[in-house]
Amino acid sequence: MSSTLVEQLRAALNAARKDRDNARTLLYSTLLSDIKNREIELALQIAREELAG
């Protein structure tokens, strides 16, 4: 069974936190935050297009 990229990043983030690796923790949390922000942007764009008809 394969996991998604986001799941892999979350697992890597948890491992970095467990290892108390601040640089990797920052990297993975920033990547996950950017992905989430892009998902929100795309959802808003789709909603606007649907309203515009």
Mean pLDDT of 18-32: 98
* Residue 42: other Cβ atoms inside 10 A: 10
**What pLDDT was estimated at residue 11?**
98
> What is the average pLDDT across 15-41?
97
Q: Which residue has the higher pLDDT, 10 or 52?
A: 10
pLDDT over 70 at 9, yes or no: yes
Domain residue extents for the chain:
5-52
Residue 49, burial from CB neighbour count under 10 angstroms (0-12, 13-18, 19+): exposed
- pLDDT (0 to 100) of residue 2: 67
